[in-house]
Structure 1
Amino acid sequence: MGRYCLCALLLLAEAAWAELPADPLGSPLWEYNIERYLGQGANVVVDDRVGLSVPGFAEDSTQVPLAVNLSAFPHTATKVVTWVDMNPVPLLFDADSRDGGLKLVSLNFRVQQASSVRAAVLDEKGVWHIDSGFVDAAGGGCTAPREVVSSSEWENEFGTLRTGLFSGDGKTRIKASLLHPMDSGMVGNVPAFFVGNVEVREEGSDAVLLTMTLAESASENPMFVFEFEDGQEHENESLAIWMEDNNGYRFEGSIGGAKP
Structure 2
Amino acid sequence: MALKMPLVVAALLAVAPCPALAKLPVDPLGSPTWTALGATFFGNDPVRFDDRVKVIYPEIAENQRSFPVTVDARGIAGVKRVILFADLNPIPLAIDYTPTAAAAFLSTRIKLDQRTPVRGAVQLADGSWLVSGGWVDAAGGGCSMPPLSRAKGDWAEHLGEVRGVAQHDAGGTRVALAFRHPMDTGFVGNTPIYNLETVELKRADGSSLGSIQIEASVAEDPTITVMPEAAVGDRIVLAGLDTNGIAYAGTLAVKAAPAALAAR
Pick the TM interval, shorter chain. Answer: 0.7 to 0.9
- What residue is the counterpart of 1:252 in the other structure? 249
The answer to whether residue 203 in structure 2 is matched with residue 243 in structure 1 is no
Task: Give CA deviations for 1:153-190 in whole Å, capped at 9, x if unaligned.
Answer: 54333322101001011511000101111111110011
Equivalence for 1:92 = 94
Please report how far the alpha carbon of residue 150 of structure 1 lies from its aligned counterpart in structure 2 after TM superposition.
Answer: 4.3
| Number of the residue aligned with 2:62 | 59
Task: Name structure 2 gaps, 5 residues minimum.
Answer: 1-16, 258-264
What letter is aligned with 1:179?
R
- 2:217 — aligned with what? 217
Which of 107-116 and 250-259 deviates more? 250-259
Q: What SS does the corresponding residue of 1:156 show, helix, strand or coil?
A: helix
Q: 2:79 aligns with which of 77, 81, 86?
A: 77
Residue correspondence of structure 1 range 113-192 to structure 2 within 5 A = 113-151=114-152, 153-192=154-193
> What is aligned with 2:103?
102
- Between the two proteins, the alignment pairs up a number of residues equal to 242
Q: Deviations over 1:204-253 (max 9, x none)?
A: x321111011112111000010013x54xx32221011110000001000
Contact 1:54/1:134 (CA < 8 Å) preserved in 2?
A: no
SS at match of 1:255: strand
What TM-score does the superposition give when structure 1 sets the normalisation length? 0.87
Runs of 5+ consecutive residues of structure 1 not aligned to the other structure: 1-10
State the alpha-carbon separation in 2 of the partners of residues 214 and 189 from structure 1. 22
Q: Distance in 2 between matches of 1:12 and 1:29?
A: 23
Verify the 8 A CA contact 2:118 2:134 in the aligned structure 1.
yes
**In structure 2, C-alpha distance between the alignment counterparts of 1:81 and 1:23, rounded to whole Å:** 17
What amino acid maps onto 1:217 in structure 2? S
- 8 Å CA contact 1:176–1:223 kept in 2: the answer is yes
Consecutive aligned runs of 4 or more in structure 1 exceeding 3 Å deviation: 149-155
Q: Secondary structure at the match of 2:255?
A: coil
Q: Which residue of 1 aligns with 2:48?
A: 45
TM-score relative to the length of structure 2: 0.85
Determine if contact 2:236/2:254 at 8 Å carries over to the other structure.
no
In structure 2, what residue type is equivalent to 1:209? L
**Larger Rg, first or second structure (1 or 2):** 2
Q: Deviations over 1:55-111 (max 9, x none)?
A: 21111111011101123x232210011211111111111111124x32321111111
- Separation (CA, whole Å) in 1 of partners of 2:21 and 2:211: 30
Q: Is the 2:234–2:254 Cα contact (8 Å) retained in structure 1?
A: no
Q: Distance in 2 between matches of 1:181 and 1:256?
A: 27
> 1:5: which partner in 2?
none
Would the aligned equivalents of 1:83 and 1:93 in 2 still touch at CA under 8 Å? yes
* Correspondences of 1:218-233 after superposition (within 5 Å): 218-228=218-228, 230-231=229-230
Tell me if the contact between 2:24 and 2:38 (Cα under 8 Å) persists in the aligned partners: no
- 2:37 maps to which residue? 33
Deviates more, 1:150-159 or 1:124-133: 150-159
Q: Which has the higher helix share?
A: 1
- Identical amino acids, percent of aligned pairs: 29
The structure-2 alpha-carbon separation of the partners of 1:214 and 1:153, relative to structure 1 and needing over 3 Å to count, comes to closer
SS of aligned partner of 1:92: strand
